[in-house]
Amino acid sequence: MHVHILGICGTFMAGIAAIAREAGHTVTGSDAHAWPPMSTQLERLGITIHRGYDGAVLHPAPDLVVVGNVMKRGDAVVEYLLDAGLPFVSGPQWLEDHVLPGRHVLAVAGTHGKTTTASLLAWLLDHAGLEPGFLIGGVAPDFGVSARLGKGSCFVIEADEYDTAFFDKRSKFVHYHPRTLVLNNLEYDHADIFPDVAAIERQFHHLVRTVPGSGRLIVNAEAANLQTVLDMGCWTPVERFAAGAGRTAADWGAAPAEHGFELLRGGKPVAHADMTLVGDHNRANALAAVAAATHVGVSVDAALAGLASFSGVKRRLEARGTVRGVTVYDDFAHHPTAIAATLEALRERHPKRILAVLEPRSNTMRMGTLAARLGHSLDDAEEVFVYARQDLDWDAHATLAPLGGRAQVHDTLDALVAAVVAEARTGDAVLCMSNGDFGDVHEKLLAALSGGAVE
């Protein structure tokens, strides 16, 4: 079957492409933009990518068009698709129809931590010999890909609450019918489609309703909004995890320790967990993954052995290079809570100065819905540099004024790079945060640092 994917370079749709190719289909796709790591993954798979969304990308006519949620009515290719009467389906529906039937689906949902937790869970199952399939929103170095069909009965999926497609406004995750469901956290996000947090809670409850009574919910005990979801009705056994103050009251807890954490069961230490990831949020991610792995028969000892060998995920505190004693990191953080958690985690690893470099790029951040929280989220950085994109609906200068002289706002990437390089000193960590490619600012910074004096 020839499958053409519209919006193929998005993290989710690139995963669909990889799985469809592995399943033996001929796969092509089109997108307006492409950047690593997904563009690299698609090129390595030999998948042809057409730039743009003209109707010509559907010549010759494929057997099926898989439509990403970036597409909308009025797009030339969408209008052509509908007029021509070509068969089409959403990405989540394609998974539901062609990949997930008969599998034990382990889904990871939440505002934050989905990619890391899903990657880690897939690795724990693989390390234990279960050969799972998976689709996650990033590339884990341990696998080298973001998705695979897998040979075992388990399938791990990053369960996103964003809407499915222009013709299906339900959250993506209602298509997955998990038997094991991780609920990491729940905060207000995606202001372009959700009017308030209650609307998101309702979608999460739709997901909870799909989990069988013989399944398991693994829930962050410290996320009050998740309890609101469960209070709407719950028909599945619940296990709770916590890496913060509530860890001693949770089924699964983590107390910080050197080179990892102490694993708690029912508040009591049972084992030392080695882990390269840092920060309370990553300890919580690890707890969730270990708890989920045990639900499919992996022993705690085997899960901890997998945890010790996990290499992390690209674009999650990923060190891109060190020049003249200045290390440049890349991270996907784009929500104030994630920004604060990432800075806190980096502080564990890097006790010296941190220079935070931020692109407010997500729809929610560009709309300014969470702008009032942005300044406080950057408290743990010694210096702050913000790229004020032309499409921001708020005044970055005014919003960051409470940070005083340690915050700079720049309207161009060149000015931003020059300002960071002028400030950087030997021993500094430069943390770049964006949910996009950020104009390849990481390489620009490394190149500029190579050519300038750093004291």
pLDDT on residue 35: 67
pLDDT on residue 100: 97
Among all chains, which residue has been given the structure tokens 């969408």? Answer: 78
CATH code assigned to 100-308: 3.40.1190.10
Rounded CA separation 94/64 (Å):
10
- Please enumerate in sequence order all residues whose Cβ is within 8 A of that of 312, keeping only pairs 6 or more positions apart, or say none: 116, 140, 141, 276, 277, 318
Contact 111, 189 (CB under 8 A): yes
Contact 305, 240 (CB under 8 A): no
| Residue type for position 389 | R
pLDDT on residue 388: 84
Task: Kindly report whether the peptide bond that precedes residue 60 is cis, defined as omega within 30 degrees of 0.
Answer: yes
Q: How far is CA 162 from the centre of its chain?
A: 12
End-to-end CA distance of the chain: 59
Class of 2-90 per CATH?
alpha beta
pLDDT tens digits, residue range 127-156? 999 999 999 987 777 888 899 999 999 999
Where in the chain are all domains bearing CATH 3.90.190.20?
318-451
Q: List for the chain the helix, strand, coil content (%; round to 5).
A: 35, 25, 40
Residue from 148, 170, 195 nearest 69 by CA? 170
| Residue type for position 94 | W
pLDDT on residue 240: 96
Tell me the DSSP string of 255-295.
EEETTEEEEEETTEEEEEEE-S--SHHHHHHHHHHHHHHHH
Structure-block tokens of residue 77: 């290719």
* Sheet containing 268-274: order of strands: 147-148, 133-135, 154-159, 104-109, 180-183, 216-220, 238-242, 252-257, 260-265, 268-274
CATH domain 318-451 topology: Protein-Tyrosine Phosphatase; Chain A (3.90.190)
Residue from 109, 135, 104, 288 nearest 204 by CA? 109
pLDDT on residue 452: 55
Residues of the chain short of pLDDT 50, as ranges, are 453-455
Where in the chain are all domains bearing CATH 3.40.50.720?
2-90
Structure-block tokens of residue 335: 């929500």
**Cα separations in angstroms, 445 against 39, 328, 417, 433:** 22, 8, 6, 13
What is the chain's length?
A: 455
Tell me the DSSP string of 407-435.
EEEESSHHHHHHHHHHH--TT-EEEEE-S
Where in the chain are all domains bearing CATH 3.40.1190.10?
100-308
Rounded CA separation 130/150 (Å):
9
Residue from 105, 134, 99, 95 nearest 212 by CA? 105
Rounded CA separation 408/396 (Å):
9
